[in-house]
Amino acid sequence: MKYVLKFILVFAALTAVQSAATAAGNLETEMKNAKKSQWEGFERYDFKFDGKNAVFVSPKVPRKDRAWVMRPAFFGAFPKADKELLKRGFYLAYLDLTHRYASPSAVADADKFYDFAVNKCGLSKKAALEGLSRGGAFSLAWANSSPSKFSAVYVDAPVCDFLVWPGLKRKKLLENLMKEWGISSMEGFSGNPLDNLENFAKSGVPLLLIAGDSDKTVPYESNGKIYVERFKKSGGNVKTIIKKGCDHHPHGLDDPTAIVEFIEKAYPDGK
């Protein structure tokens, strides 16, 4: 009986290794026609996904759970946390939704990309979501639309109210937003992240919000602060880090440990 049990344990271990190898092979297979290069010392794949710019960056030693971090905007900007997560075995993914203003069609495009990453490339069914500025608006909207897809969400100086940013002063950007949403006026607009958060809040998925208290572009008082208050009131699990004297830039933290550990904590058993 002892030898039978040992055989079962060894077989299970080998099966797990084989499954991981198969998942790795899936990503390699799907990326065979991608443009290959190096990013910060890691293998980078650039490709088009439904006509949109997309990127995968592979860690040198992937985690067993194939955990990944998804950026919907500004690939490569303020990358300290991304680089450290890659070192710790996370995949990094990107789909360019920068100028989509968290619209329903943009969320639908992100859902398709998520399905591709999970079902074709073998990545974890739970992604960590990372959004800076307007990418934060998209991240919050997507998390509210499909919270079950995410293990954790990190946003940095996020746009939470499009009437503040781009607002009426940035007319061209506002026109682009209305075109993306298919509307002719902002009167009665109901698509702001701070008005659409209950699904996300009630899901229990943890949120980390970092912002500067002197942000002149996306003021914390009229964006992140209101979002956090409403998120907590709806039962949300949120941690905030407010940087004293910091404007909209730089995003992130000089020492990204708090960001990295927040994301790692959401994947407790997958190393």
With respect to residue 270, please indicate whether it lies within any of the assigned structural domains. no
- Specify the pLDDT at position 26: 86
- Specify the pLDDT at position 3: 45
Domain count, the chain: 1
With respect to residue 199, please indicate whether it lies within any of the assigned structural domains. yes
Range of the domain at 168: 2-265
Using alpha carbons, list the distances in angstroms from residue 269 to 18, 92, 212.
18, 19, 33
- Report the CATH number at residue 200: 3.40.50.1820
With respect to residue 119, please indicate whether it lies within any of the assigned structural domains. yes
With respect to residue 147, please indicate whether it lies within any of the assigned structural domains. yes
**Whole-angstrom Cα distance, residue 175 to residue 186?**
10
- Specify the pLDDT at position 268: 82
With respect to residue 114, please indicate whether it lies within any of the assigned structural domains. yes
Regions of the chain short of the pLDDT cut 70: 1-25, 271
Sheet holding 207-212, edge to edge: 35-39, 42-49, 52-58, 91-95, 68-71, 127-132, 150-156, 207-212, 238-243
E-assigned strand segments in the chain: 35-39, 42-49, 52-58, 68-71, 91-95, 127-132, 150-156, 207-212, 238-243
- Specify the pLDDT at position 259: 98
- Specify the pLDDT at position 271: 67
Rounded to two decimals, what is the model's pTM? 0.90
With respect to residue 86, please indicate whether it lies within any of the assigned structural domains. yes
pLDDT in tens, 160-173: 999 999 998 999 99
With respect to residue 271, please indicate whether it lies within any of the assigned structural domains. no
With respect to residue 261, please indicate whether it lies within any of the assigned structural domains. yes
